[in-house]
Amino acid sequence: MKEYNGMELMICLAARYLEDDGIVVVGTGAPCAAAMLAQKTRAPGLMIMFEAGGVGPHLPAMPISVGDSRTYYQGLVATSMPDIMEACQRGMVDYTFLGGAQIDMYGNINSTHIGAYEKPKVRFPGSGGANDLASLCWKTMMITPQDQTRFTNNLDFITSPGYLSGKGARERAGLPPGCGPYKIITNLAIMGFDEDTCRMQVESIHPGVSREQIIENTGFELLWADHIYESSPPSAEELEILRNAVDPRRYIIGRG
């Protein structure tokens, strides 16, 4: 039996990409847990912001809403949504995490609907802050389960920009240069993006996962990095902090 579950693995792996002295805008759930874990391990100087206006809290518990009072508990600033979004637009925010119902090989994300726009089959929340964060933060990450429905090139709607149609497309569209999708962390692997084509490529495979499994669970052709690593599993210290100090009530890690 493994000593950790898939959610714990994804959170620990994501936390390692958040560097000390960076700024990250997070929502609730797994990204918030990853940022909290990073802060309590290798990146104590990481600054956490929430899009509704909370800056630099000592998070006493997992927030339920990105605007609830936990997001600025013992914080540095309780400011406003435009203030946070304008910090992103000025280039002050290094990382963000997004979620979505579908993602394609360029890292474009759908969180708006399934079906047609008029009378959609399923309506989702829409952009929220996702389009803004994906447009304006330097590095966008995603923590998500990997399967064929979710990883598809047939997005029903492009809510938030990845690399759009490939290299240079973001800049041609008018988005600030030099930013975009960075790492996609799933239950199977860690994927980055090829520099020349901006297509998703596998960089690291989790222990016990095969290449075939990854291919079977992806609806498009993945690229493979020249050197593929085995993802280094959570350390005892990471797990201890995640379980006891970050999410003791298992709101997030309880989801497996």
Partner 1 sequence: MNMSNKEPGYFNYHEQDVKYIKVGTRELFSNPDADEARDCFRQKTRQMVDKTTTVKEAVANYIHDGDYFASGGFGSNRIPAAILHEIVRQNKKNLGFAGHTSTHDMQILVAGNCINRCDAAYIVGLEARGLSKISRRAFESGAVQSTEWSNATLAWRFKAAAMGLSFLPARSLLGTETITHSAAVEIPCPFTGKKYAAVPALYPDVAAIHVHSSDVYGNCQVKGIAVSDFDLARAAKKLIITTEKLIHNDEIRSAPHATVIPYYLVDAVIEVPYGAFPSNMAYEYFTDEDHLKAWLEAEKDEEKFRAFLEENIYNCRDHYDYLQVNGGLARLNELRAQENMTRGNG
Among residues 24, 37, 19, 20, the alpha carbon closest in space to that of 253 is found at: 37
> What does the chain come to in residues?
256
Q: How many CB atoms lie within 10 A of CB 211?
A: 14
The 3-state secondary structure of 143-155, one letter per residue: ECCCCCCCECCCC
| Residue in 4, 5, 40, 81 binding partner 1, rule: CB under 8 A | 81
Catalytic residue among 3, 8, 19, 51: 51
Query: Residues 125, 127, 128, CA angle at the centre, nearest 5°?
Result: 80
Site membership for partner 1, residue 125 (CB under 8 A): yes
| Nearer of residues 45 and 125 to partner 1, judged by Cβ | 125
* Choice from 173, 208, 237, 240 touching partner 1 (CB under 8 A): 173
Number of residues that bind partner 1 (CB under 8 A): 59
Residue 122 structure tokens: 């399923």
Contact region with partner 1 (CB under 8 A), list: 15-23, 152-160, 218-226, 229-237: 152-160
**CA neighbor of 133 nearest in space, from 94, 183, 191, 103:** 94
Among 21, 69, 229, 235, binds partner 1 (CB under 8 A): 69
Placement of tokens 């938030």 in the chain: 160
| Closest alpha carbon to 97 in 175, 157, 163, 30 | 30
Note whether 33 binds partner 1 by CB under 8 A: no
Is 240 assigned a catalytic role?
A: no
Q: In this complex, which beta carbon is closest to partner 1, that of residue 23 or of residue 188?
A: 23
**Residues annotated as catalytic (active site), given as ranges:** 51
Binding site for partner 1 (CB under 8 A): 27-29, 51-54, 60-61, 64-69, 71-72, 78-82, 85, 88-89, 108, 112, 117-132, 135-136, 157-161, 164, 169-170, 172-176, 249
